[in-house]
Structure 1
Amino acid sequence: MDTKLTLKLNQEVIEKAKAYASTRKMSLSRIVEAYLQSLTSNEIEEEFEISAFVKSIATGNKIPLDIDEKEYADALLEKYK
């Protein structure tokens, strides 16, 4: 069952996130849901990989444009285990 959720976010983050979702032909709601699922589950989401950009939205951290997303994801997993 789907339930509505209202979030208060920085306008710039919202615009960037919508553009990101659009380029991947996904809804922003689906991306947020998958991200929250990845935070609350020990199982790996295999439907699609969450990029470093999307992960950075939650933390507010800026990430370098030339970052290796796999390396960044591995570092985050190690940090928050």
Structure 2
Amino acid sequence: MDTKLTLKLDHDVIEKAKTFAKAKNTSLSKLIENYLRLLVDHERNSEVNTLVKSLSGVLHLTENFNHKSEYQKYITSKYKS
């Protein structure tokens, strides 16, 4: 459901945004809606990042661990005929 919203913005910003929206073949309202959706989704995705950060340090690797070498061994064994 669409709801009307009134905003106070700088006149120059509005004019530039209208030009930008027109160049993108969209309305200023849709442009702002998409931007706000992007902000909200980013905030939701940052919660996932918090979970990922909490998992940091779970694996303990030796100092001389060579991830490239280990990956190469893995790929070689996976695709070995």
TM-score (norm 2): 0.51
Pair 1:11-2:11 in alignment: yes
Percent sequence identity over aligned pairs: 52
Match in the other structure for 1:31: 31
Render the CA deviation track for 1:22-80: whole Å, top value 9, x for unaligned: 11110010010000001011479xxxxxxxxxxxxxxxxxxxxxxxxxxxxxxxxxxxx
Write the mapping of 1:45-60 to structure 2, written as runs, cut at 5 A. Answer: none
> Aligned residue pairs: how many?
44
Q: Which runs of 5+ in 2 are unaligned?
A: 46-81
* Structure 2 Cα separation of the partners of residues 24 and 40 of structure 1: 22
Q: Which has the higher contact order (CA 8 A, sep 6+)?
A: 1
Secondary structure of the equivalent of 2:37?
helix
Bigger Rg, which one: 2
Q: Considering only aligned residues, what root-mean-square deviation do their CA atoms show, in Å?
A: 1.7
Give 4+ residue runs of structure 1 displaced > 2 Å after superposition. none
More helix by share: 2
Q: In structure 2, what residue type is equivalent to 1:24?
A: K
